[in-house]
């Protein structure tokens, strides 16, 4: 019997880069191009985008000069480092063990539900859900006596496949809405007004439906596939006094930071961009102080609370043990920096070639020529967006290409722009889970490797995808049932907003 050859994630990424280079070179030589329509200054403008080869003079210059710059500008790396420092000190001080071990008796199905639910609602904070929740859940599962690998996969599924849901809209929803408004007003209805809450009813219901049915899917289909991993228990002193004081400190710090994001009070709003009109833009916009401050705030809170608990409980003997404790979670995680270097290179090269934009434009153009309405139109759009996501995981980039064509197309089929955006978000969340080009999929692999203590369990890119695909496809079915069911029933998807016009 031949031994199965398994490619490690780094080699797989290098092979994927090679495929991008070869395919883009062939397409460039053949003059492959696509017309992309965008809204520019209130009018539709169509431009031709061609696939670029890396084996041209400009391409070779880019290939050798961009890797260092791409890695330097790779924001997920910085966010992850700060997040891991916060989680490290919480673990080293014994605070996390004191807080989470008391929940060991909670039924596994409840743990899965809570993990999924928190993952879904964490979409409010955008990509912070990945850099904070994924490593934190791994630690929590460890203290609950559950498999950390299962926790990582569950958190990833919740954040990714629930990205179109949530309790309230996030900044991505706001930006998508602005693109939707431009697409709707430029060629169909100049009086259309975008309401940021327009999807709120549907998002809220979807959150609970996905969490409940998703729990059944995880427990039935994913959990049996996750092989057991060795759980390493650490001994820490327990201090009731330390826990009480650290909880008080947590509450006080949290109140201070909340005050800093409330507008209109004396000395408040320090972390808001008050130049913006809408609160979500003030809080989470590109120029909002809170956007970059959130992860640092988390670090401050955990350093203070963990320091208090650690010194009172004697788990931290002195300032040196506190300092070393900030790096505890980096053990066996040097691999993630290697992965992130190569994934930043892969994404950079893919963006340079324009392959994603050209393929995405083809798919949108194909759909625009179909004479579908109603449910078939919704189903086809769902599939098209999932396919686009393979090479373009970023939501805003996809909708910039798709909305000028799809929003008017749906409006002419008597479907509202708001519902069209909701269909897009549902399909986008599924598509992100199915592509190895999604940055945070590779980040997840690094954490799987960290908590994979058995030599027989090999973590690979396509092996992990293969394990996740049945779960993702079942979530896709749930999303389709929600979207199509809502369309058939015709209930409001938000305040004074319906699926049809």
* Residue 1 resides in a domain: no
Place of tokens 């609602």: 121
Based on the fold, state whether residues 152 and 176 are members of the same structural domain: yes
Based on the fold, state whether residues 403 and 274 are members of the same structural domain: no
Based on the fold, state whether residues 260 and 231 are members of the same structural domain: no
Q: Is the alpha carbon torsion for 431, 437, 442, 443 positive or negative?
A: negative
* Residue 500 resides in a domain: no
Q: How far apart are CA 271 and CA 276, in angstroms?
A: 13
Based on the fold, state whether residues 303 and 382 are members of the same structural domain: no
Q: How far apart are CA 385 and CA 380, in angstroms?
A: 9
Q: How far apart are CA 241 and CA 469, in angstroms?
A: 47
Which of 314, 342, 373 is the endpoint of a domain? 314
- Mind listing the pLDDT tens digit for each residue in 391-438? 999 999 999 999 999 999 999 999 999 999 999 999 999 999 999 999
**Residue 145 DSSP symbol:** T
Which of 314, 349, 366 is the endpoint of a domain? 314
- Bridge partners (DSSP) of residue 45 are 38
* Residue 243 resides in a domain: yes
Rounded to two decimals, the pTM is 0.93
Based on the fold, state whether residues 277 and 333 are members of the same structural domain: no
Based on the fold, state whether residues 77 and 183 are members of the same structural domain: yes
* Residue 494 resides in a domain: no
Based on the fold, state whether residues 250 and 382 are members of the same structural domain: no
- Containing H/E element for 109? helix 108-121
pLDDT value at residue 5: 62
pLDDT value at residue 107: 94
Q: What 3-state class would DSSP assign to 495?
A: coil
Greatest alpha-carbon pair distance for the chain in Å reads 74
Q: How far apart are CA 20 and CA 62, in angstroms?
A: 14
- Mind listing the pLDDT tens digit for each residue in 28-67? 999 999 998 888 877 888 899 999 999 989 999 998 888 8
* Residue 499 resides in a domain: no
Based on the fold, state whether residues 208 and 60 are members of the same structural domain: yes
Based on the fold, state whether residues 210 and 252 are members of the same structural domain: no
* Residue 276 resides in a domain: yes
Q: Is the alpha carbon torsion for 197, 198, 204, 207 positive or negative?
A: negative
Range scoring the smallest mean pLDDT among 337-351, 408-422, 442-456: 442-456
**220, 474 in Cβ contact below 8 A?**
no
First to last CA, the chain: 62
Based on the fold, state whether residues 174 and 194 are members of the same structural domain: yes
**83, 132 in Cβ contact below 8 A?**
yes
Which of 289, 314, 339 is the endpoint of a domain? 314
* pLDDT surpasses 70 at 456: no
- Burial label, 116 (beta-carbon count in 10 A; 0-12, 13-18, 19+): buried
Based on the fold, state whether residues 266 and 373 are members of the same structural domain: no
Most confident among 126-130, 186-190, 304-308 (mean pLDDT): 304-308
* Residue 2 resides in a domain: no
pLDDT value at residue 285: 77
Number of domains in the chain: 2
Q: How far apart are CA 456 and CA 182, in angstroms?
A: 53
Based on the fold, state whether residues 159 and 303 are members of the same structural domain: no
* pLDDT surpasses 50 at 217: yes
State which residues form the domain around 299. Answer: 237-314
* Residue 4 resides in a domain: no
Q: How far apart are CA 145 and CA 97, in angstroms?
A: 11
């Amino acid at each position: 019997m031949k031994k199965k050859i398994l490619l490690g994630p780094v080699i797989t990424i290098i092979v994927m880069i090679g495929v991008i280079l070869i395919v883009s070179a062939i397409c460039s030589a053949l003059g492959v191009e696509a017309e992309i329509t965008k809204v520019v200054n209130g009018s539709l403008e169509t431009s031709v985008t061609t696939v670029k080869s890396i084996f041209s003079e400009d391409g070779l210059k880019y290939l050798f000069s961009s890797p260092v710059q791409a890695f330097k500008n790779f924001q997920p790396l910085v966010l992850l480092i700060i997040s891991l420092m916060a989680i490290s000190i919480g673990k080293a001080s014994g605070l996390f063990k004191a807080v989470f071990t008391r929940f060991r008796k909670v039924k596994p199905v409840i743990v899965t539900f809570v993990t999924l639910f928190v993952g879904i609602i964490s979409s409010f904070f955008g990509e912070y859900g990945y850099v904070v929740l994924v490593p934190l859940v791994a630690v929590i599962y460890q203290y609950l006596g559950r498999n950390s690998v299962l926790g990582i996969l569950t958190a990833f599924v919740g954040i990714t496949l629930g990205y179109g849901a949530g309790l309230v809209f996030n900044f991505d929803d706001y930006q998508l809405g602005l693109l939707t408004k431009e697409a709707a007003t430029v060629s169909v209805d100049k009086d259309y007004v975008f309401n940021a809450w327009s999807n709120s009813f549907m998002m809220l219901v979807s959150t609970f439906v996905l969490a409940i049915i998703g729990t059944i899917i995880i427990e039935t289909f994913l959990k049996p596939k996750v092989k057991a991993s060795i759980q390493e228990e650490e001994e820490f002193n327990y201090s009731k006094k330390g826990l009480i004081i650290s909880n008080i400190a947590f509450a006080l710090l949290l109140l201070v930071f909340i005050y800093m994001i409330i507008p209109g009070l004396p000395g408040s709003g320090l972390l808001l961009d008050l130049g913006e009109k809408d609160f979500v833009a003030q809080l989470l916009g590109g120029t909002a102080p809170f956007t970059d401050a959130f992860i640092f705030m988390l670090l401050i809170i955990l350093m203070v609370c963990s320091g208090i608990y650690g010194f009172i409980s004697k788990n931290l003997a002195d300032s040196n043990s506190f300092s070393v404790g900030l790096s505890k979670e980096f053990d066996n995680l040097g691999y993630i920096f290697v992965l992130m270097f190569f994934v930043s290179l892969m994404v950079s090269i893919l963006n340079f070639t324009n392959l994603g934009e050209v393929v995405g434009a083809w798919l949108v153009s194909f759909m625009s020529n179909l004479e579908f309405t109603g449910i078939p139109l919704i189903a086809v759009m769902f599939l098209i967006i999932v396919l686009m996501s393979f090479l373009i995981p970023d939501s805003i980039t996809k909708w910039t290409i798709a909305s000028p064509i799809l929003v008017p197309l749906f409006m002419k089929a008597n479907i509202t722009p708001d519902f069209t955006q909701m269909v897009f978000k549902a399909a986008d969340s599924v598509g992100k889970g199915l592509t190895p080009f999604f940055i945070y999929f590779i980040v997840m692999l690094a954490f799987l490797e960290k908590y994979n203590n058995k030599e027989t369990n090999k973590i690979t890119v396509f092996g992990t995808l293969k394990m996740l695909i049945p779960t993702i496809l079942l979530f896709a079915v749930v999303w389709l049932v929600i979207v199509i069911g809502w369309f058939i029933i015709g209930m409001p998807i938000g305040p004074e907003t319906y699926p049809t016009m």
